[in-house]
Structure 1
Amino acid sequence: MAAKDTSRQTQGVLLPPEVSSEIWAKAIEESAAMQLATKIPLLGQGKEFQTITGDPEASWVSETEKIATGKHTFGKKSMKGYKLGVIEPFSLEFKRDKAALYDACVNRLPKAIGVKFDKTVFGVEGSAPGESFDTLAGATAVDIETDPWLGLVTADAAISAADGMLDGWALAPAAKTSLLTAKDGMGRPLFVNSMVSDNSVPALMGHAAHVKKGIYKAAVPATSSADGVPAQLGFAGEWASAFYGIVEGVRISITEDATITIDGQPFNLWEHDMFAVKVMFEAGFIVKDIARFAKLVGKTPKQTA
């Protein structure tokens, strides 16, 4: 059995760099947050951002009157990389043909990475991996099912009120289904291009709308002791003020003689004539101001007898 790897260096036979690059590109394709936010360089020790939290206020004065003084106020935000990874076992026959292994990694593993990143950013499940990783779970909720057009305008207005400017949408497939038949104030379809055309990113109110699976969170019905929680259908926001960073890029390794855990039980690869591919990367995510984002929600289901 291979020794446990406790360093930053992976063990096993590394796959070619081009495989790592393509897996990373496909992981981004699976993530609405990474497609909408701005990518920035991130070192292993993290990165600190200076922010301006307040501006000096000017005032009108009469001739010879004293001019008021003021100053900016400052704050800071820290981004740190947190590990996100997945191990997938394969039969050893895959390894006979590099193309088969290549295709398996590129087509299967990135989805797990991109979807998990989104589920964390959008508060779908679990919590942030650390205090320097922001999520949008606490964004102001806006109903877009009762009156879709009014709901979208309300979200835009909430972002503007926080001194933000809406520049993109992250939508769950359920939101797409709901909005496909909706019209704007002039009776025109909200989506201005086809949702099924190849390589097409639909626009909503003039801004790109990325439809991905890691966004939806089911509604919680009301009970006699608690109010219901509406379904989470998406997010609107000023994505220019959201940032994600990656440390070192994607790291990939394979092993044939390790023991991994499957369904809570140890599983020896060598005994089963198998191997496993491990994909790891370190990522961080921050937003300047969560008030510049709005959570798009559906109706709260009624209590059933």
Structure 2
Amino acid sequence: MAQTAATNTSEFAGFLRPDQAQAYFDEARKRSVVQQLVRQVPLGINGQEIPVTTSKPTAGWVSEGGQKPTTSGEKTLKTIKPHKLAAISVVSAEVVRANPANYINDLREDIAEAFALAFDAAALHGTSTPFGNGNYIDATTKAVELGTATVANGGIFADVNAGLALLVNDGKRLTGTAFDSITEPTFNGAVDANGRPLFIDSPTTDNTATVRDGRLLGRPSFIGEGVAKGTTVGFGGDWTKAIWGVVGGITYDVSTQASVTLDGQLVSLWEHNLVAIRAEAEYGWLVHDTAAFVKYTEGAGA
């Protein structure tokens, strides 16, 4: 006989324990190209001041008994503050009752993907960002259009290498790249100056993973969803010039009584026998040198 008892939030609360938070964050990191390229730092609820190097000391050769050169390295403090990121998942009570454990596993992937895409959009493009004006990678003024170079002149390899040239000519360096999934067919057929595949897959990576990782120009590279916006389809640069952090765990809230907005309309959970799980986390992000990055745009020949 089918179960017709009213849904009680306590039935599902046990599957949303705080100790599951790390699994959510780990899953979100796998789906975020930014979090895989950028260093994570410990972050408290009040934020944290991070020392940033603006100039480095230099050394020089001296003769025996000669005067030693004196230089100074300079640092400045930058503040990274946490901001709340939230997502609500709604499903029928019957689905949750049928297999609550499996539903929570699915929920973890859905929430992780939502967190990853929202975080990357803010960090890369400043989309709905709470992190402050200009605190995103796309604020860089360096840009290269993919498809500019002809095949005879190096094709996509030459375009990507042109981005590296913009960086090194400005005293910056390339530690990795991030490209959107829409560029994957382009890189699949691209070769370097020696005829070798331009993008080389990591041999230890699951080929079915949401984010494809490998190496491009000898550096770590990730291809995933949510990187593109407008004509921008990828970024390269010194990812040590940015940091991110997360505060504590995830706050869970389960309800069958509230109303939620679905497809632009307010819907009563109780009237429709639905369950809503709200997940909230606090993330921080800081890029302290946008000039250390170059963006790649999509050209007609890419």
Measured against the shorter chain, the TM-score band is 0.7 to 0.9
2:137 is matched with which residue? 136
The Cα of 1:55 is off from its aligned counterpart by 4.9
Once the two structures are TM-superposed, the CA of residue 161 in structure 1 deviates from its matched residue by 3.6
Mapped pair 1:254 → 2:254: yes
Structure 1 distance, partners of 2:208, 2:162, is: 31
What TM-score, normalized by structure 2, do the two folds share? 0.80
Q: Which residue of structure 1 aligns with residue 224 of structure 2?
A: 212
C-alpha spacing 1:161/1:77, structure 2 compared with 1 (3 Å): farther
Task: Tell me how far 1:250 sits from its aligned partner.
Answer: 2.4
1:79–1:132 CA contact under 8 A, matched in 2: no
Gap change, CA 1:132 and 1:40, over 3 Å in 2: farther
Query: What's 1:145 paired with?
Result: 147
Q: Which runs of 5+ in 1 are unaligned?
A: 1-11, 219-230
The alignment covers a number of residue pairs equal to: 276
Question: Is 1:192 aligned to 2:200, yes or no?
Answer: yes
Local SS of the residue matching 1:192: strand
- TM-score normalised by L of structure 1: 0.79
Structure 2: tracts of 5 or more residues without a match: 1-11, 150-155
- Contact kept, 8 Å, 1:133 with 1:286, in 2: the verdict is no
CA contact (8 A) 1:245 1:285 kept: yes
Which ranges of 4 or more aligned residues in structure 1 deviate by more than 3 Å?
Answer: 54-61, 66-74, 161-164, 193-200
Which secondary structure does the structure 2 equivalent of 1:216 belong to? Answer: coil
Deviates more, 1:290-299 or 1:155-164: 155-164
Which residue of the other structure, out of 116, 119, 124, is the alignment partner of 1:117?
Answer: 119
**C-alpha offsets along residues 18-75 of structure 1, whole Å, 9 cap, x if unaligned?**
54332222111111001111111100111111223235789999xxxx9997644442
8 Å Cα contact 2:30-2:36 kept in structure 1 = yes
What residue number does 2:240 align with?
Answer: 240
**What is the alpha-carbon distance in structure 2 between the residues aligned to residue 27 and residue 59 of structure 1?**
46
In the alignment, is the contact (CA less than 8 A) between 2:32 and 2:120 conserved in 1?
yes
User: In the aligned structure 2, how far is the partner of 1:269 from the partner of 1:193?
Assistant: 45
Distance (Å, rounded) in 2 between the aligned partners of 1:282 and 1:202: 29
Structure 2 Cα separation of the partners of residues 87 and 270 of structure 1: 16
Deviation of 1:177 after TM superposition, in Å, equals 1.6
Does residue 1:183 correspond to 2:184, yes or no? Answer: no
Number of the residue aligned with 1:25: 26
CA distance in 1: counterparts of 2:188 and 2:158, whole angstroms? 15
Partner of 2:79: 78
Give the Cα–Cα distance (whole angstroms) in 2 for the partners of residues 289 and 74 of structure 1. 13
Matches within 5 A, 1:1-305: 13=13, 15-55=16-56, 71-96=72-97, 97-123=99-125, 126-131=127-132, 134-139=135-140, 140-147=142-149, 148-193=156-201, 197=207, 201-218=213-230, 231-299=231-299
Whole-Å Cα distance in 2 between the matches of residues 205 and 295 of structure 1? 16
The change in CA–CA distance for 1:34 and 1:57 in structure 2 (over 3 A counts) is: closer
Report the Cα distance in structure 1 between the residues aligned to 2:74 and 2:28, rounded to whole angstroms: 38
Structure 1 residues 160-169 or 281-290, which shifts more? 160-169
* CA distance in structure 2 between the partners assigned to 1:186 and 1:275 by the alignment: 57
Name the aligned partner's letter for residue 54 of structure 1. S
Q: Which has the higher helix share?
A: 2
In the alignment, the residues of structure 1 paired with residue 173 and residue 163 of structure 2 have an alpha-carbon distance, to the nearest angstrom, of 11
| Distance in 2 separating the partners of 1:122 and 1:112 | 15
Distance (whole Å) between structure 2 residues aligned to residue 28 and residue 93 of structure 1: 31
Identity %, equivalent residues: 27
Change (3 A) 1:68 1:210: closer
Q: Report the aligned-residue RMSD.
A: 3.1
User: 1:136: how far off?
Assistant: 0.7
